[in-house]
Amino acid sequence: MTSTQRVPLHDDLDVGDLTKAIENFNRYYIRLPTVQKLSFTTLSVLDTLAHGGPKRLTELARTEQISQPGLTQLVTRLERDGLVERRPDPTDGRAVLVHITDRGRRIGQARHEDRGRHLLPLIARLTPAERRAIAAALPALSRLAELGSQTGR
């Protein structure tokens, strides 16, 4: 069978267009060299902790889509490097709460600003109308992400 399976569309926003644009963008964006040599998962965990506060190992493993042992090892490495801390959960003796440290927070932010620096000259080359179009879409994109993270559990 060669017929392309068609996903139903909204008349105001084609899902295929969205995924294609995002993937084009990400192919460039994800590969941006980072100052520190930290894996994608590592940075994502730091980001999640920085924005969402302390989390259990199990919960992190779910949101980051890696196995629980994989996350235990990752947290062990992060703790060794002083980017996070394990603290007991006062409400559950089995659980551990992973806290981000100031150092970890700074690393996440450094990467963030680093990417901004890469993007800036590109943005300068867009037309004002293109810049406004992107700016106008950002709140909606963030809301989409929020809806996604709520659903996915």
Partner DNA sequence: AGGCTTATATAAGATCCTGATCGATCGCGT
Partner DNA sequence: ACGCGATCGATCAGGATCTTATATAAGCCT
- Give the C-alpha separation, 123 to 36, whole Å: 24
Q: Look up residue 9 and give its two tokens.
A: 């569309």
CB of 87 to DNA, least distance (A): 10
- Contact set for a copy of itself, span 80-99 (CB under 8 A): none
Q: From the list a copy of itself, DNA, none, which binds 35 (C-beta under 5 to 8 Å, kind-based)? A: none
**132 near DNA, judged by CB under 7 A:** no
CB of 88 to a copy of itself, least distance (A): 27
- Cα dist. 82→79, 104, 107 in Å? 5, 7, 11
Q: Amino acid identity, residue 119?
A: L
C-alpha dihedral (68, 65, 119, 135), degrees to nearest 10: -130
- Contact set for DNA, span 33-72 (CB under 7 A): 38-39, 41-42, 56-59, 65-70, 72
- Contact set for DNA, span 72-131 (CB under 7 A): 72-77, 86, 89, 92-97
**109 near a copy of itself, judged by CB under 8 A:** yes
Q: Are 142 and 135 in contact (CB under 8 A)?
A: no
The H-or-E segment that residue 99 falls in is: strand 92-100
- Nearer CB in complex with a copy of itself: 89/145: 145
What would the x/- binding string for a copy of itself be over residues 18 to 57, using CB under 8 A? xxxxxxxxxxxxxx-x------x---x--xx--x------
Of the candidate residues 56, 72, 123, 153, the single one contacting a copy of itself (CB under 8 A): 123
- Give the C-alpha separation, 78 to 73, whole Å: 9
